[in-house]
Amino acid sequence: MPRKIFLDCDPGHDDAIAILLALSSPSLSLLGISVVSGNQTLEKTARNALNVTRYLHSDVPIALGASKPLKRSRLNCGEIHGESGLDGFTFPEYDLQYEKRDAVTFLKDTLLSQDKVTVVTTGPMTNLASALLQYPEIIPHIEEIISMGGSTDKGNLTPYAEFNILADAEAAKICFDSKIPMRMVGLNVTRKALVLPEIVERMDKIKTHSSKMFVALMKFFNKTQKEVFGLDGGPLHDPLTIACLLDDKILHFEHMDVDVDISDSITYGQTRCKPNKESYIQVATGIDVNLFFDYIEKALRSC
């Protein structure tokens, strides 16, 4: 039976490839998507999620979530993802038909209708935190949470904090402290999954519907990552949360306690990780980059 997953995201170039990977894998069943303000405003991340899914011939429901964090003011990242939040590829015009229910209600209803669902987050964790606060009865229906966020070492938006956590550390703390089995996929591994020019060239040779989108988006993503961070390729952070469900050799995890800093200080948003074999949280500490891109290629060849 395919593994049932629910994706909360803020597309975003790397979120878009996470969606592609989820939709193209027969071993996964994507029950729903919710979107959150993050890489761009909610209106833009919602349109981007709809464009990507409809371009990939999927009618998976997309529910609108939080337009701002639980407590702090809104933080977006247009310098990386562009004005639209997904610059570089022009999608056909699709009807903007979203799920009628808001993200928290849709996530709650989806989880209560299933025995066990893996909840994947690749943006600020506001929607999941709100659902846990409002509907604690969903907890037994969550097989595990897999989140792109945090880092065992340096941040990206600040020296201490990674963007998804920095954007709403209070929400992240609620999720990390929930005692739900969780896997954190942080910058310490995702920074190694760079879409180097030779990777773009390799995927450009595939010439499928999906590879056309991939190549165009990655060319833009690489340009801004070079300008902002001086990287030779954009780090494919988010798809690793999906890839680790496809092959457990792609990421190596270690059980750790993770303390999310919500102090009113320079370390706000830091994820302090401490090894603990008893912890319900596992933190990614190793990555097989070549195997990961083999799965990206396999996905691009399939759709």
**Which residues make up the interface to ligand RIB (CB under 6 A)?**
10, 12, 14-15, 38-39, 122-123, 148, 156, 162-164, 237-238
CB 146 within 8 A of CB 118: yes
List the structure tokens of 41: 């405003």
What does 162 interact with, of Ca ion, ligand RIB, none (CB < 5 to 8 A by kind)? ligand RIB
What is the 8-class DSSP label of residue 92? P
Minimum separation from the CB atom of position 37 to ligand RIB (A): 10
Cβ neighbour number for residue 240 with a 10 Å cutoff: 29
What does 87 interact with, of ligand RIB, Ca ion, none (CB < 5 to 8 A by kind)? none
- In the set 10, 15, 87, 168, the catalytic residue is 10
User: Count of alpha carbons within 13 Å of 222, Cβ hemisphere only?
Assistant: 17
What does 163 interact with, of Ca ion, ligand RIB, none (CB < 5 to 8 A by kind)? ligand RIB
Q: Which of 108/184 has CB closer to ligand RIB?
A: 184
Q: Pattern 75-114, binding to Ca ion, x per CB under 5 A?
A: ----------------------------------------
Q: Rule CB under 5 A: is residue 65 a binding residue for Ca ion?
A: no
172 exposure class (CB count in 10 Å sphere: 0-12, 13-18, 19+): buried
Q: Rule CB under 5 A: is residue 69 a binding residue for Ca ion?
A: no
List the structure tokens of 183: 């896997």
Q: Rounded distance, CA 48 to CA 40, Å?
A: 10
Residue 10 among the catalytic residues: yes
Cβ neighbour number for residue 301 with a 10 Å cutoff: 14
**263 phi and psi angles, rounded to 5 deg:** -75, 155
What does 156 interact with, of Ca ion, ligand RIB, none (CB < 5 to 8 A by kind)? ligand RIB
Q: Rule CB under 5 A: is residue 8 a binding residue for Ca ion?
A: no
Minimum separation from the CB atom of position 80 to ligand RIB (A): 8
Q: What is the dihedral of CA 186, 238, 133, 53, to 10 degrees?
A: 180
Minimum separation from the CB atom of position 235 to ligand RIB (A): 8
Q: Rule CB under 5 A: is residue 123 a binding residue for Ca ion?
A: yes
Minimum separation from the CB atom of position 78 to Ca ion (A): 13
Minimum separation from the CB atom of position 229 to ligand RIB (A): 11
What does 269 interact with, of ligand RIB, Ca ion, none (CB < 5 to 8 A by kind)? none
Please tell me the count of residues contacting Ca ion according to CB under 5 A: 6
Residues in the chain: 303
Query: 182 by DSSP, 3-state: which?
Result: strand
297 exposure class (CB count in 10 Å sphere: 0-12, 13-18, 19+): middle
H helix or E strand, kind and range, residue 117: strand 117-121
> Which of the residues are catalytic?
10
